[in-house]
Chains A and B, each alone.
Chain A
Amino acid sequence: MADSSAGGGRGPAPELAVRGTGPGQITVGGLTAGGGALLVFVSEHCPTSALALRRLGPLCQAWAQAGLTAIAIFEDPLDVAIRTARRLGWSGQVAVDDPPYPASRAYRVAAVPTTVLIGRDGGLARTVTGWDQPALAALLGEAGEMLGASLAVPPATEPLRKPGCSAKAAIDPELAAAMSGPGGGDEPEEMFERGWTDGLPVIPPTAERVEAMLGGRDGGESLGLVPPAMGEATLERVAACAVLAGCRPAYFPVVAAAARAVLDPAFNLHGQAVTTQPAGQLVVVNGPVREAIGLNSGMGALGPGFRANLTIGRAVRLLVTLTGGAVPGAMDRATLGHMGKLGFCIAEDEEGSPWEPLHVERGFEPGQSVVTVIGSDAPLSISDHRSRTPEDLAYVLAWAAASAWSTNWWPLAEPSVFVICPEHAQMFRGAGWTKHRLRQFMFEAVHKPARQLRRGETTPAVHAAAPDTPVPKWASPEAIVLLVAGGEAGRYSAVLGPCTGMGSQIVSREVT
């Protein structure tokens, strides 16, 4: 547990050659240049290390001013170290000791956290293992004497002492290799350990399953590089994602078409994958393939319960998060995100719709099966049970979207996707409204005078307009996308807000 004198011998501190964010290696000489150095060996997985970083972190700046340079040395990848340090409020330097952890071995770090004080002369002054507030206070007292300053100590609050965790450097290499090798028989856990999931269990992509998923297609065909990691989306890898997601082989042509669509540069998947915006990739399926594979466009169209919908959407997202590396909390910086990022595949109810379906609008034949991808926010529900005229209903639908993305960053060029339920669609069918007419009405209905929009963050267009000039929600009626889906009974439609500012185009691909 806590051992405050293990390193008390005053020999020279072993040399360091660890990596930080700056150019070159970090050395003992560099760290002690200001007076003294405090090395804190830690590990991302260790709760006691987290405690130490949290308790010591806020003190680093004041220490630096007094001449004590504090550095947290992680036995993890650099990006993990930076992220962990930030999260825990560590304000000192951050570095990593790469496998086989030479710095940890040189300093005989058996457990993390281990705190080491090095004097100006490069001498090893004192070591504390684990979390031990009294011992650390004494260490800082000694450091203060060295520097002729009074150094802040961590608060004497519980727990005063806590044992550390085994350091990677201390683990026998063969044992470590055995521990990190493929697990015994627990395949689902194995998938989690490899990081091959989205947080939910997956189907292990054995060579056999992937081959079945490919269905005779050439697995070596490349669909392009998936940003942001730029992993290559070979058809085999796309099939692996489809297997992981739980797709049946019959779904694969749709998955492949969706993969091609999101990888079209016009879609700007890169921007969507790493943004702080909530955006997920909505996948809309049209054409005969819907019925052929059991895609749901009726009751619960935007919710769970249907394997084809859920697994196709999931396969596309796994391609983005695994092959593309856009893992939430890491490369995917979405502040909140939304559950559609688990997978969001919907099918249009073409048979129940009074209008031409999305793919026909976009230039395809009705009999073609097509996938269309759109960067989208989560659905906002629109309740309307009482409108008796198409104008009233259209007004309600349109104004529901007024706050999508922002109440005052108007107009928006990017698409808002309306999913109109059959009962609502019936109102427009009965009145003979075309999609064009509805879209035009909705576009014109949602305007506000510029002065009402000048609150908080707003657009240059709003600033430039005269106070009473009406400013539209959408830059043009074309920003209003209309789909029909949902159960026969019930008057709830929905609108999905846009992903903005990244020039992302709606992209369609035929299912082949």
Chain B
Amino acid sequence: MCDLVHLERRGIPAVGIATAPFADEAVQQARLLGMPGCRMAYIPHPVQLLSGDELAGRAEAVFPDVLAALTEPA
């Protein structure tokens, strides 16, 4: 989250991808760092034991959110 905030401050649109259990922490940290609008996209947890295909599937499924985070007006 710190990284995303630093990048946004430098004018770089950024998005972080995390598994769903991170959501509340990310939201809170973004607010504490002064940039509550900082954008994240979430995939279901867990990922460690997924097959390669399943992991790629997670990436495909979340990509629309990634796109939105990078292109929706701030």
| Chain A interface category by residue count | 20 to 34
Could you say which residues of chain A place their CB within 8 Å of the CB of B24?
78-83, 86, 330
Flag if B68 contacts A79 (CB, 8 Å).
Answer: no
Q: A447 an interface residue at 8 Å Cβ cutoff?
A: no
Does A23 make an interface contact (CB < 8 A)?
Answer: yes
- The reply to whether A23 and B29 form a contact with Cβ atoms under 8 Å apart is no
Which residues of chain B are near A86, meaning CB under 8 Å? 20-21, 23-24
> Chain A at the B interface: mostly helix, strand, loop or mixed?
loop
List of A residues within 8 angstroms of B68 by Cβ: 22-23
Q: Chain A's nearest CB lies how many Å from the CB of B50?
A: 15
B39 x A228 contact (CB < 8 A): no
Contact of B74 among A23, A81, A333 (CB under 8 A): A23
Query: In the complex, are the beta carbons of B39 and A23 less than 8 A apart?
Result: yes
Is A331 interfacial (CB-CB < 8 Å)?
yes
Interface residues on B, range: 20 to 34
Question: When the two chains form their complex, are residues B28 and A330 in contact, meaning their CB atoms are under 8 A apart?
Answer: yes
Could you give, for residues 11-27 of chain B, a 1 whenever the CB lies within 8 Å of some chain A CB and a 0 otherwise? 00000000011011101
Contact A23 B32 (CB under 8 A): no
B interface SS class: helix
* Contact indicator per residue, chain B 39-68, by CB within 8 Å of chain A (1) or not (0): 110100000000000000000000001001
Q: Given known contacts A274-B25, A330-B25, what 20 new A-B pairs fall within 8 Å (CB)? A: A21-B23, A23-B37, A23-B39, A23-B69, A24-B72, A77-B31, A78-B24, A78-B27, A79-B23, A79-B25, A79-B27, A79-B28, A80-B24, A82-B24, A82-B27, A86-B20, A228-B32, A229-B29, A230-B33, A325-B32
Return 23 A-B CB contacts under 8 Å, by A number.
Answer: A23-B68, A23-B69, A23-B73, A24-B72, A79-B27, A79-B28, A79-B31, A80-B24, A81-B24, A82-B23, A83-B24, A86-B21, A86-B23, A86-B24, A228-B29, A228-B32, A229-B29, A274-B25, A325-B32, A330-B25, A331-B25, A331-B29, A333-B25
Top 9 A-B pairs, shortest CB-CB distance: A79-B28, A83-B24, A82-B24, A79-B24, A79-B27, A229-B32, A23-B72, A82-B23, A78-B27
